[in-house]
Amino acid sequence: MQNPRKIHLIAAARPNFMKIAPLYHALLPESWCHAQIVHTGQHYDYNMSASFFRDLKLPEPDFHLEVGSGSHAEQTGRVMIEYEKIAELQRPDWIVVAGDVNSTLACALVGTKLRIPVVHLEAGLRSGDRSMPEEINRLATDAIADVLWTPSADADANLLRENVPAEKIDRVGNFMIDSYEMLRDSIAAAEMVERLALSPRRYAVVTLHRPANVDSADSLASLVAQLSSASESLPMVFAVHPRTRKRLHEFGLMAALENCAPLNVTTISYAPRQSFRSRFPNRTS
């Protein structure tokens, strides 16, 4: 029997964990392949990493690069240096990168330079704003990936407009929905709607974490004021990202949120079945 194909699933940040989890669980029982998880360490504290692996029923990563934080250049460079060592030694048959973080582009570059086929999961998404580091990562990754797994028709259209060959594009849908389905029962069991005294389908959930929104005192103060105003007509649950929580305290804005309980803005800590059928390039029995 032919040796199973070795597939590296690159996990770097919280959204990536949720994207690779359904794929990992779908590939796990397959005899034609052996999926291995590579954690770059871009999100490296417990709330950003281990708790999500536990909730998503993912095993300990096969490889952990532990690159940590740093500038975009530092982080991208460290991931490339450390992952290249693993890729050269292990020589996977396919590398699957997800989303648009620095590790996505870094590992795609490693694969391309080592002539290892690269799949981009959640390809084709565009904001049109090149001031966003994520937009640059998306554009560059899509330009060098061998197979582009898209979540939607608009993503297909974006790639075709950029003259990407149609045969490289494969619409697989939104893997985040598959992760939600995996966790549906545990989400329901948490009874968060009841615990927060909310009416089903009569509330909004808010999260903020992009530097452009939260790293400026003026921008964050404006957003806090708008959320407080909007909550007068619609209850809101503000799931506070650690970065945002730090800035709210630093800029003296947390009290403004905590004191608007009559406006039904609730702050909670950021913390955290299967409809997916695998579709993989060059699959063999």
Residue 258: is its pLDDT beyond 80?
no
Rounded to whole angstroms, the Cα distance separating 73 from 41 reads 15
Question: 25 catalytic, yes or no?
Answer: no
pTM to 2 decimals? 0.84
Contact predicate 97/104, CB 8 Å = yes
Question: Which has the higher per-residue pLDDT, 44 or 112?
Answer: 112
Same fold, 5-182 and 191-269: yes
pLDDT of residue 45: 58
* Domain covering 5-182: architecture: 3-Layer(aba) Sandwich (3.40)
Mean pLDDT, rounded, for 135-142: 98
Mean pLDDT, rounded, for 19-31: 96
User: CATH for 191-269?
Assistant: 3.40.50.2000
Catalytic residue among 25, 34, 43, 209: 209
Residue of 223, 205, 204 whose CA lies nearest to 213: 223
Residue 197 pLDDT grade (very low, low, confident, very high; cuts 50, 70, 90): confident
Print the SS3 string covering 156-203.
Answer: HHHHHHCCCCHHHEEECCCHHHHHHHHHHHHHHHHCHHHHCCCCCCCC
Rounded to whole angstroms, the Cα distance separating 43 from 70 reads 11
pLDDT of residue 209: 84
Residue of 87, 66, 84, 63 whose CA lies nearest to 75: 66
> Residue ranges per domain, the chain?
5-182, 191-269
